[in-house]
Amino acid sequence: MRKTSISRWIIRPTQRAVHLTGALLLLAGWSVHGATPKAVFILVDGIPADLVESVSTPFFDEIAKDGGYARAYVGGQAGGASESPTVSAVGYNSLLTGTWANKHRVYSNQIRSPDYRYWDIFRLVKQHNPDLSTALFSTWEDNRTKLLGHSRPEAGGDKLDYYFDGFENDEQRFPHDEAREYIRQIDDLVSREAARYLAEHGPDLSWVYLEFTDDIGHLYGDGEEMAAAITLMDANVGRIWRSVQARQQAEDEDWLVVITTDHGRDAQTGKSHGGQSDRERTIWIATNSDALNEHFSNLPAIVDILPSLLTHLEVAVPQAVSEQFDGKSFIDARRPREPRP
């Protein structure tokens, strides 16, 4: 257990009485009014659960205090048909589609032939309501161009109303260096833009991707450098969290924040990943949700994040798509609010 003042392994139980009240209101024919649901999911690359639990992360802790923290897993069923490499792009796409690699067909960071028949979350949101606004803030352009396939007809066409990425390709502004300082700088830029844009525009669904921790892990493994990178990542997330808090205070909005990582690291040095060892498969999820159900405390998977986000956003999913999900929601449906007299 990490050295913090909050209990990060406890979630709030389902309030059946409240759900019953909401159901009775619906049966009575009363309209349901509530704050507009918004969601942002943040993926910070390559942070093992044991390290995030031992390093100082005040903002992660603050977010989890409002909701919960749990260990989770990637990699599908070890030894089964859904076994998936514990590699970055594989994990990203499992989150984005709610499926393992045997379905979405991304087995490496080369992303050679993703199967776009398994819809990503942005496509689902736009299919549900084209007027819902979406945004992406990423230190890796391939998240947009290859995994999401933004603008590709076979991937659902244009799904992002705003995106901020591709800076790793600008070597004049961000000269590449072996210490990966340029990635640290891009993460800083990306997180600042995410914080600004969320505060000013409040998109309905946003994804923030930050890379630096994985690069430091590959360079140094477990140690002081990785601990410092995790604390830095916490600060990047913190500025986004402050924007979310400001929106909730100023607007009638109900924000869900989900933070996770894409894989753990090897147990020997912490420099590598890709296999099926316990440490490589073990990730974590932190969220501010106050509607967590029992599944959250029973080792959820990265594929459970997509249905959880959709539940909060109240997105209706075509049955042909939802029946292909490998995950299930760890968030209960939003409670209806009593109508004003």
pLDDT digits (tens, 9 = 90+) for 161-174: 999 999 999 999 99
Work out the average pLDDT over 71-82: 98
Average pLDDT, the chain: 91
Give pLDDT tens digits for 49-69: 999 999 999 999 999 998 999
The pLDDT assigned to 186 comes to 98
Backbone torsions φ then ψ of 256, nearest 5 degrees: -105, 130
pLDDT top residue among 15 and 104: 104
pLDDT top residue among 11 and 51: 51
pTM of the model: 0.90
The pLDDT assigned to 66 comes to 87
Give pLDDT tens digits for 263-314: 999 999 999 999 999 999 999 999 999 999 999 999 999 999 999 999 999 9
Q: Does the pLDDT at position 33 exceed 60?
A: no
Work out the average pLDDT over 113-140: 98
The pLDDT assigned to 25 comes to 32
CA 45 – CA 212 distance, rounded (Å): 7
The pLDDT assigned to 335 comes to 67
Our CA dihedral for 121, 125, 130, 133, rounded to 10 degrees, sits at: -80
Give pLDDT tens digits for 88-107: 999 999 999 999 999 999 99
Work out the average pLDDT over 312-334: 96
Strand partners, 285: 70, 260
CA 4 – CA 289 distance, rounded (Å): 20
- The end-to-end CA distance of the chain, in Å, is 48
Q: How confident is the model at residue 30 (pLDDT cuts 50, 70, 90)?
A: very low
Q: Does the pLDDT at position 8 exceed 60?
A: no
Contact between 96 and 147 under an 8 Å Cβ cutoff? The reply is yes
The tally of CA atoms less than 13 A away on the side-chain side of residue 23 is 7
Lowest mean pLDDT among 14-18, 38-42, 64-68, 139-143: 14-18
pLDDT top residue among 4 and 174: 174
Give pLDDT tens digits for 177-233: 999 999 999 999 999 999 999 999 999 999 999 999 999 999 999 999 999 999 999
pLDDT top residue among 32 and 252: 252
Q: How confident is the model at residue 34 (pLDDT cuts 50, 70, 90)?
A: confident
Q: Does the pLDDT at position 241 exceed 70?
A: yes
Structural domains in the chain plus CATH codes: 16-322 (3.40.720.10)
The pLDDT assigned to 336 comes to 61
The pLDDT assigned to 17 comes to 36
CA 102 – CA 87 distance, rounded (Å): 14
CA 238 – CA 235 distance, rounded (Å): 5
User: What Å distances lie between residue 78 and 46, 74, 81, 100, CA to CA?
Assistant: 19, 10, 8, 11
Work out the average pLDDT over 9-13: 39
